[in-house]
Every structure is written in C-alpha cells, then in structure tokens.
Structure 1
Amino acid sequence: MQKFQLENEYVLVEFFDYGGILTKMVNKRTGQNYVLAYEDEQSYLDNPYFFGATIGRNAGRTFPPHYLNYAGEKVVLDTNEGQLHLHGGKNGLHQVTWQVRSIDETAFQLTYEDTKSPYEPLALKMIYRLVKNRLSIEMSALANEPTVCNLTNHSYFNLENQKTIEDHYLQTASAEIQVIDEQFVPTGEYSAMNDPEDRLFDFSQEKQISEALVQKTNLSKICTNGIDLAYCFKQKDTAKPKIILTDHHKKNQLKIYSDQEACVIYTLNKISNDLKLANGNTIERFSGITFEMQRRPNYVQTEQEYLTTNYSAITTYEMD
C-alpha cells in the first residue's frame, strides 16, 4: 500500500492507493483527525469495518443478489452477508489497488479498470480535491455497455478523541427513511418519521445521537440498538449541507454536501473484533458514525432505470 497526502493551511488529508482508503482528514485549526483509523496499517488489508474505503460497484445491500443486464439476462452476484450482496461483494472496490497520479498541488486522480467483478467492465475515476477547508470526492465512470454503478466512501467520523460518538450532535436535511425488514432489506415503504417509534431517528432538528441509540422499539432492535438506516432526501439542493455533525464541546464540526439522493447512516453497531485505533482507543460499539452518500439501497430491484454507461457523483466534506 502506498500512502499519499494533500495539505493546505486548513486541512491535511491522507489516503492509500489500496481501496482509495482515507486515513486522515485533519482539521489543522484544532489538530483533530475527523476519521477513525486503525493503529496497525496492515488492518486495512482485511478492513472488516470498511474504514475510509471506496465502496462499489453497488453500495449497500442487494437482495435478491442478482440483477438483469442490458440484454435481459440474469447476472448472479456473490453473497457476503447471509443471503445479501453487500458493498460490491467479497471482492469489492475497497480491496483493489487504484492508480494514483497528482493533478496539481490541490488534487489527486485515482483510476481503476474494473474487469474482474461480476458486473460489466467499467472504467472508474475519482478525484480527491482540497480547496480551503473542503475535501471533495468526485466520482465518475464510463462503460461500453449499460451496467450497475453506485459508489460511496465509507469513512467513520469521530470529531473528538472520545471512545464513542454518542454525545455528538447530528442534523440531517429533510428526509424520509427506508423501511427495512430483519435482513435490512428495504420493503419498498418509507417513513416520514412522524410516529413515536420512528421519530427517534429524526434528525431534521439538531440533537444528540444518543437519543436514537438503545431504544425499546422494534426498529431499534432491527438496527441492533444503533442507527443503520437510509435517509432519502426530499430536496436536491446541493448548496446546503445534507449532514451536519458537531462534537460535544462544539469545537469541531463537519458539514457534508452531496448530489446523491440518499445517505445510509450507520453508527458502528456490530463489533466482531477489538482492533486498536490510531487515536489510542480500542474499537467498540458507536466508536464512529459513517455517512454513505449513494443511490437509495436496493434500487436495482425497485427501479426501472438502474443501468448506466456514464456515472457521476460528488460529495464534499467541510471541516470547521
């Protein structure tokens, strides 16, 4: 794995060519690294929690694990979470080496020719661009044949060196959540979070994340007592942040802007091993929170227009 850095007077960003993995997003005003990172860099080779990784070809869970290609033929996908195809399967983009070249002192370009996945061949490009206190991830892809492409970044955020993000404040743009079953598969229904059970997950007004954790509701139990839900935004305005995350002491703030229609918010609810983190803590439940900007999960099973030859998406992280 080769490491690269982008830096200006406001922000220091560090990433690997392997998986395009972001390991540092440092607000130089406070010295705080906003993203969780492993203490042992070899942990990124397996990366059980997808720390900082580029996710694809299809972010989120796909069920049934197949889709119809442009010729109407069934393409069977591998399963890596029970009967689900998760984050591109067993050999997703988080486990490939990207070609990296410097564009200028503000940006790097990452490219990868995906010819080995179950999906149709695709030429992918990402640009990591740093402008003042903003890191933008510009994703694009071109294919000769219509195919599936839905990419995201899977960084976990913790804006202070606390063991968990429970005391962080969160606000989202106006959204409705996908209703899911016990397998985390969308049912096709949506909730405006008006009823008492779902209202716990409504962050349209700023509140502490802890208010949605370990609640005695059915949805909380499905989400293993944390948050693991797709927030589907009602507005397409890219000039306003979709996400605002603030630490408990109001010293660090992250604003996320995106042109994507949905964001899967996940609070690291399931811990399979206790890896050491670069901030000195050991990973535990709710150590961080991830905001996976993407198309709404399982769209290949619910929408007619799910194939493309020309994909693009942009997400920007503003560090205050």
Structure 2
Amino acid sequence: MRLMKHALTLFICLLLMSCEAEKAQKEQESDTMSEPEATIPAITKAPFGTMPDGTEIEKFTVEAPDGAKVDIITYGGIVTSLMVPDKDGNLGDVVLGHNSLQPYLDDNPFFGAIIGRYGNRIAKGKFSLDGEAYTLATNNDQNHLHGGEKGFDKVVWQGKEVQTEEAAGVELTYTSPDGEEGYPGTLDVKVTYLFYPDHTLEILYEAETDKRTIVNLTNHSYFNLGSDSTILDHRLMLNASQYLPVDNTLIPTGELKQVEGTPFDFTELQPIGEYINAENEQIARGGGYDHCWVLNSDSYSTVAARVQEPQSGRVMEVYTTEPGIQFYSGNFLDGSITGKDGTPYVYRSGFCLETQHFPDSPNQPGFPSVVLEPGETYRTKTKYTFGTL
C-alpha cells in the first residue's frame, strides 16, 4: 500500500511538471506570435559628402517594411532617390538626381530640391511691399527664379529624424536672414518630409517672419515613373479648368484662361506628348509645358493631379492645399547631365508637378496673396502617393 501511494504521488508530480512545461511553452509561443510586425518606416543616417567650406552633408533614408524608400539630403533638402514598386512588385527609382554631392553643387536644374523663398518667377526681379521697392537677382533672363542665385535649394539645412504613429521622416530647418537674396525679414523655415508604409511622401511646409515679407515654397522633384528615356507616354490628369497664360519671358499675363479646347486641357487622363508639339503660341513660349494650372480645389482630400505610366503600371497622385500647380515637361533637359545610372537626362526625360501659389503674385493684385505677416505662420502641405494600376 505504501509503495502504491509513493508511485501515485510520483505520477501526480510528473503530471504537474508536464503541464507546467506545456503551459510555459504555449506562453512563449504566444509571446512570439503577439510581437507586432514592423509597420512604420525605419530611418537611417549616413554621410553624403562635404561642402567646399568643410560642412558635412547628411543623407536620411526612410525605408518602409516592403523596401520602398526615400533618400533626402541636408543640402537643399533634396530628394535624391524615391524607390517604389511597379505592377510586378519590382522597386524602381522614380526621381531624377545623383548618387553623390558634387553634381548637385555643379550647375543642375533644381533636382528634388526645396525651393524658396519664392518658387517660380517674379517679373524683372522687382516687387513692392508697403510702399517699399525690393530688388531681387535676375537669374532667369530678365526675371527672378526660384529664390535667386542662392535660394533654399543651395543652402545647408539642419536635419533631424522624426516619427509619428503612421510615418517616419526628417525635419529640416533653416533661418534665412533679413535681406538674403533681397527679401525682407528674417524667415524661420521648417520643412518636414514624412514617408508612409503605403508609399506616400508628404511634405509639410512652415515659416515665420519678423517682418512683412513674401513666401512661396515648393519642391522641385523631376519624376519619371517608367523606364523610357522620355515622359511623353505618361498619362496626366490635372484637376484644373483654368491655367495661366504667359508672356515671352514666361511671366503670367494676369489672365485665367479656360483649358477647354486647348492643348492645356488635362481634365481627363491623356498622354503628356499628345499636344506638346502643337502649333500653339503658349506651347511655343514654354517650349512645351511650363505653366501654372489653377486648381479646382485646395481640399487636401481632393486629387490635384494623377499620372499613370503604362509599361510599369505605376500611378502617382498629388494632393495639396495650394491653389496652383506648375507642370513642367523637362523642356530644358538636353542630355548634358548624367543621372544616377550613368544615363544622360535627355530632352523631356522628367516632369515636375510643383504645388505652389501663382508665379509673379507680388506684382499681380488679382492673384492669391503670398504675403506673410509677423505673428502668423505660413503653413501648406503636399503629398505624392504611389500605387499601381
């Protein structure tokens, strides 16, 4: 009897030990299974070269879990690379640019850069504010273009990593001193790039001034969503019933013209090359498309532009709070600049969709105001969302 009791006790102990071991294993498996998969893009930072004065330039890489990623450098706040998948899931770079710093320091057409203080043209480099006349650099024939000789595309920004519940990115800051490039007021600028897992690149612009001034910030990325050397087969839709005709120097005439019945009608998707060589005075003046469209809506939930590339199947949608969008068809690219893969950027090998206020607004009372007052904060935002057909 005593032996049977001892055997029963031993059996119960072994059974309890087995149950505890099984419970511990299940808890461990449960803990492993409950660990959430990474959904927010990861941020890394690396050197990207040195300025002539010894300033180190940094590159921030923001990578989504599926490998899609964007590279941004502190020189000019430039988007140097943007890798997104095609219809077969293959990643490809959809922006023009360079793999090293020096080509950006050389003469280049604003690839991927932050543009300011004033994006686009100001007639003859002159404007008045509160009765005071201001003179800016005339760096585009007789006109002022994209902030002058040393606009925001050519300055070194301070960068830091940022993360939200849904995205990750980089916050860039720069203080433009009073009188820089002829503009009044000390302007504190913050531009935040955020990259989302759904392949959306969002750009948030903020600025404050200590003196009444003008501000019109944008980004000058050149896109090519496919592998063809030109963008003429890309299909474009612009949510705009009007555009701004320009004079011989590409300054708006002040008229808001209906696009209907003209080569500027992109209210429905059509190839960029469909009418780009049409016998049209405005086409001739721009050498193709280099005009500002008046958007039908400044709602951030309304598509401002959509682009489809048939071969890759890539689709890009643009959303913005700005009233206008400058569509530029790469008319001044001529093959003299070599890209990241060693291939020359030929005529019309990239297009720009620069969300902004209208060109020459300081001299055009009928255009939306670009004046920023002390105590106010300039805020605008734009996002580029990438998908496939």
2:354 equivalent to 1:289: no
Which range moved further: 88-97 or 276-285? 276-285
Inter-partner Cα distance in structure 1 for 2:124 and 2:371:
17
2:308 equivalent to 1:236: no
Give the aligned residue type for 1:143: T
Is the 8 Å Cα contact of residues 30 and 252 (structure 1) preserved in structure 2? Answer: no
Give the one of 103, 108, 117 matched to 1:43: 103
Q: Secondary structure at the match of 2:244?
A: strand
2:269 equivalent to 1:206: yes
Inter-partner Cα distance in structure 2 for 1:229 and 1:137:
22
Give the aligned residue type for 1:215: A
Quote the residue 1:187 is aligned against. 253
Consecutive unaligned residues in structure 1, runs of 5 or more: none
Alignment map for 1:3-82 (pairs within 5 Å): 3-10=59-66, 11-28=68-85, 29-38=89-98, 41-70=101-130, 72-82=131-141
Is the 8 Å Cα contact of residues 38 and 275 (structure 1) preserved in structure 2? Answer: no
Quote the residue 1:178 is aligned against. 244
Quote the residue 1:317 is aligned against. 384
Give the one of 218, 234, 244 matched to 1:152: 218
Give the one of 193, 196, 215 matched to 1:128: 193
Give the aligned residue type for 1:188: G
Inter-partner Cα distance in structure 2 for 1:168 and 1:271:
17
Inter-partner Cα distance in structure 1 for 2:322 and 2:155:
24
Deviation for aligned residue 1:47: 4.4
Distance 1:39 1:17, change over 3 A: closer
| Aligned residue-pair number | 315
Q: Which has the larger radius of gyration?
A: 2
What is the TM-score with the length of structure 1 in the denominator? 0.94
Choose between structure 1 and 2: higher strand proportion: 1
Is the 8 Å Cα contact of residues 212 and 227 (structure 1) preserved in structure 2? Answer: no
2:314 equivalent to 1:255: no
Is the 8 Å Cα contact of residues 242 and 256 (structure 2) preserved in structure 1? Answer: yes
Give the aligned residue type for 2:232: E
Q: Secondary structure at the match of 2:208?
A: strand
Deviation for aligned residue 1:74: 0.8
Alignment map for 1:73-152 (pairs within 5 Å): 73-104=132-163, 106-115=168-177, 116-119=180-183, 120-132=185-197, 133-152=199-218
Give the aligned residue type for 2:143: L
Inter-partner Cα distance in structure 2 for 1:242 and 1:94:
24
**Runs of 4 or more consecutive aligned structure 1 residues displaced over 4 Å after TM superposition:** none
Deviation for aligned residue 1:235: 1.9
Inter-partner Cα distance in structure 2 for 1:40 and 1:139:
26
Give the aligned residue type for 1:162: D
Consecutive unaligned residues in structure 2, runs of 5 or more: 1-56
Distance 1:148 1:159, change over 3 A: same
Inter-partner Cα distance in structure 2 for 1:47 and 1:17:
18
Which range moved further: 38-47 or 260-269? 38-47
Quote the residue 1:216 is aligned against. 279
Is the 8 Å Cα contact of residues 239 and 295 (structure 2) preserved in structure 1? Answer: yes
Deviations 1:200-231, CA, capped at 9 Å, x for gaps = 1211100111112222222221111x211100
Inter-partner Cα distance in structure 1 for 2:259 and 2:160:
45
Is the 8 Å Cα contact of residues 334 and 347 (structure 2) preserved in structure 1? Answer: no
Inter-partner Cα distance in structure 2 for 1:41 and 1:8:
24
Q: Secondary structure at the match of 1:111?
A: strand
Is the 8 Å Cα contact of residues 23 and 36 (structure 1) preserved in structure 2? Answer: yes
Inter-partner Cα distance in structure 2 for 1:59 and 1:278:
26
Which range moved further: 270-279 or 235-244? 270-279
Percent of residue pairs identical: 28
Deviation for aligned residue 1:271: 3.2
Inter-partner Cα distance in structure 1 for 2:228 and 2:352:
16
Distance 1:271 1:134, change over 3 A: closer
Deviation for aligned residue 1:237: 2.4
Inter-partner Cα distance in structure 1 for 2:155 and 2:240:
35
Deviations 1:4-55, CA, capped at 9 Å, x for gaps = 1111125301011000000111114430111112355411113421100110
Deviation for aligned residue 1:92: 0.5
Which range moved further: 51-60 or 6-15? 6-15
Q: Secondary structure at the match of 2:273?
A: helix
Inter-partner Cα distance in structure 2 for 1:186 and 1:201:
15
Q: Secondary structure at the match of 1:221?
A: helix
Q: Secondary structure at the match of 1:222?
A: helix
Inter-partner Cα distance in structure 2 for 1:200 and 1:245:
17
